[in-house]
């Protein structure tokens, strides 16, 4: 690994993700060079990193000398030229295909021939970004989760032309960075942003319906949040989590995944969330989302009815398992990687495929078939794999 530590890492974009990724790489011992077109962002990122490293030192997780050394290993510039000596560059700029393609095309002619070019995109196709380069075989997706220094998951996404040795090197490097890498096929949402869609989408759907016994308004949302936490063991409920992620980000990811799946009804966004997005009710960061976070607001009480809670939980869980099973069926990733992605990327209490094994595929298929017959909607079609499992009685894990 001595060789690995000597690699020079470039980061493009000093926003939330770029700054965190730079910190991760510098903590491992790499020299890190950051390029951002906005000098004010670079100065702010450096100040914030200093504060976050000092905090880690106060907590005893680093010595003050180490914190200083990490900060000193990071250099930044408003010029892309700073990246010319890099061995690996991770792009974390605005989520816009044309702007990313322009940056990759410029990089391609600036950097060394053997420099790996990675994108941290959460929803764009790696293949489409790579197509802007003369040498698309060196382009790969390295998708970190927010906050990058704390979240262990990294989705490694080869595009159609990516050289397999670059995939192998990326897995080794991310392991060296003490991350948990999983390899995902270049499909919309990769693993996490695809498999997690029903956690939000089905919860909103239940809320929107004149639904058996669910209280109206915020009390209904609080009841769904309560069911997922109390009965499901999730750390946060769907509405709390959407308000934390931001309804601007969450809505945009949903819409992008839906469009990229050629408008598959399973991923259809909801008007409820779109209206929040349009009104600027993004969640905690704007003081109002599904819930009201103003100082005078009174948080709604959930209706703690376990029968109702179990119905809500089973409906959402069945949809999540269906998505995970389909991701496996369509070769998006291995069984182990799909489960690891959800536990390490979004803190699910259990891998969804393992959960299915414990409950029985027949139970999940029954739930989905029931929903499909009630609603007559494609949204609830059970995965072919789950149907086979229920019929032939086999499991994901032996």
So which residues are the catalytic ones?
122, 143, 155, 193
Residue 37 binds ligand NAI, judged by CB under 6 A? yes
Helix 306-329 vs helix 361-375: angle between axes, to the nearest 10 degrees?
Answer: 100
- By beta-carbon proximity to ligand NAI, the closer residue of 16 and 369 is 16
Residue 121 binds ligand NAI, judged by CB under 6 A? yes
Residue 41 binds ligand NAI, judged by CB under 6 A? yes
Smallest distance from ligand NAI to CB 259, Å: 15
Q: Which residues pair with 34 in a beta bridge?
A: 11, 76
Residue 99 binds ligand NAI, judged by CB under 6 A? yes
The site that binds ligand NAI (CB under 6 A) totals a number of residues, namely 24
Smallest distance from ligand NAI to CB 304, Å: 32
Residue 13 binds ligand NAI, judged by CB under 6 A? yes
Query: CA-CA distance, 197 to 267, in Å (whole number)?
Result: 7
Q: Which residues pair with 14 in a beta bridge?
A: none
Smallest distance from ligand NAI to CB 245, Å: 7
Helix 271-279 vs helix 247-260: angle between axes, to the nearest 10 degrees?
Answer: 130
Contact residues for 255 (Cβ-Cβ < 8 A; gap 6+)? 269
Residue 12 binds ligand NAI, judged by CB under 6 A? yes
How many Cα atoms are found within 13 Å in the side-chain-facing hemisphere of 93?
A: 22
Member of 27, 46, 120, 162 binding ligand NAI (CB under 6 A): 120
Residue 17 binds ligand NAI, judged by CB under 6 A? yes
Sequence-ordered alpha helix ranges (H) in the chain: 2-5, 16-28, 39-58, 64-72, 97-110, 126-130, 164-176, 192-195, 197-208, 217-226, 238-245, 247-260, 271-279, 306-329, 335-345, 352-359, 361-375, 384-392
User: Which of the stretches 52-60, 138-146, 153-161, 364-372 binds ligand NAI when contact is defined by CB under 6 A?
Assistant: 138-146
- By beta-carbon proximity to ligand NAI, the closer residue of 72 and 146 is 146
- By beta-carbon proximity to ligand NAI, the closer residue of 114 and 146 is 146
Member of 92, 203, 257, 332 binding ligand NAI (CB under 6 A): 92
Say which DSSP state 213 is in.
Answer: T
Residue 14 binds ligand NAI, judged by CB under 6 A? yes
- By beta-carbon proximity to ligand NAI, the closer residue of 207 and 258 is 258
Q: CA angle, corner 187, sides to 324 and 282, nearest 5?
A: 80
Residue 142 binds ligand NAI, judged by CB under 6 A? no
Member of 63, 114, 146, 393 binding ligand NAI (CB under 6 A): 146
User: Which of the stretches 95-103, 200-208, 235-243, 299-307 binds ligand NAI when contact is defined by CB under 6 A?
Assistant: 95-103
Residue nearest to ligand NAI (CB): 15
Member of 9, 22, 25, 103 binding ligand NAI (CB under 6 A): 103
Q: Which residues pair with 157 in a beta bridge?
A: 141
Query: CA-CA distance, 209 to 272, in Å (whole number)?
Result: 11
Question: What H or E segment, with its residue span, contains residue 141?
Answer: strand 139-144
- The full length of the chain comes to 398
- By beta-carbon proximity to ligand NAI, the closer residue of 92 and 335 is 92
Smallest distance from ligand NAI to CB 117, Å: 14
Residue entry with tokens 């044309």? 98
Distance from the Cα of residue 363 to its chain's centroid: 28
Smallest distance from ligand NAI to CB 38, Å: 4
Say which DSSP state 292 is in.
Answer: B
Query: CA-CA distance, 384 to 119, in Å (whole number)?
Result: 32
Residue 36 binds ligand NAI, judged by CB under 6 A? yes
Member of 46, 122, 254, 322 binding ligand NAI (CB under 6 A): 122
Residue 118 binds ligand NAI, judged by CB under 6 A? no
Query: CA-CA distance, 158 to 182, in Å (whole number)?
Result: 11
Member of 2, 81, 94, 109 binding ligand NAI (CB under 6 A): 94
The site for ligand NAI (CB under 6 A) is made up of: 12-18, 35-38, 41, 92-95, 99, 103, 120-122, 144-146
């Amino acid at each position: 690994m001595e060789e690995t530590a000597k690699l020079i890492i470039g980061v493009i974009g000093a926003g939330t993700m770029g700054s965190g990724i730079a910190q991760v790489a510098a903590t491992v011992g790499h020299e890190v060079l950051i390029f951002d077109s906005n000098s004010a962002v670079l100065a702010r990122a450096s100040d914030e990193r200093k504060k976050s490293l000092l905090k880690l030192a106060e907590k005893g997780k680093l010595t003050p000398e180490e914190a200083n050394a990490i900060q000193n290993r990071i250099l930044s510039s408003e010029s892309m030229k700073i990246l010319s000596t890099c061995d690996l560059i991770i792009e974390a700029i605005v989520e816009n295909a044309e702007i990313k393609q322009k940056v990759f095309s410029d990089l391609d002619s600036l950097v060394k021939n053997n420099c790996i070019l990675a994108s941290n995109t959460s929803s764009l196709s790696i293949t489409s970004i790579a197509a802007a380069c003369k040498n698309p075989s060196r382009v790969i997706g390295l998708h970190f989760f927010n906050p990058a220094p704390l979240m262990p998951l990294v989705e490694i996404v080869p595009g159609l032309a990516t050289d397999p040795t670059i995939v192998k090197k990326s897995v080794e490097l991310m392991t060296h960075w003490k991350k948990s890498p999983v390899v995902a096929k270049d499909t919309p949402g990769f693993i996490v942003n695809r498999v997690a869609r029903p956690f939000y989408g089905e919860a909103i759907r239940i809320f929107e319906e004149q639904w058996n016994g669910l209280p109206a308004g915020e009390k209904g949302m609080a009841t769904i949040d309560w069911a997922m936490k109390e009965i499901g063991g999730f750390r946060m409920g769907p509405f709390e989590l959407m308000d934390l992620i931001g309804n601007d980000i969450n809505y945009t990811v949903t819409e992008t995944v839906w469009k990229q799946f050629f408008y598959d009804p399973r991923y259809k966004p909801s008007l409820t969330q779109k209206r929040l997005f349009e009104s600027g009710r993004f969640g905690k960061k704007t003081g109002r989302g599904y819930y009201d976070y103003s100082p005078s607001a009174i948080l709604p009480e959930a209706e703690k009815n376990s029968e109702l809670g179990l119905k809500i939980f089973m409906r959402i869980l069945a949809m999540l398992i269906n998505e995970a099973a389909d991701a496996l069926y369509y070769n998006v990733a291995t069984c182990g990687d799909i489960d690891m992605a959800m536990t390490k990327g979004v803190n699910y209490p259990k891998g969804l495929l393992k959960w299915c094994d414990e409950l029985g595929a027949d139970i999940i298929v029954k739930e989905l078939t029931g929903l499909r017959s009630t609603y007559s909607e494609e949204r609830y079609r059970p995965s072919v794999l789950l149907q086979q499992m229920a019929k032939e009685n086999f499991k994901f894990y032996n």
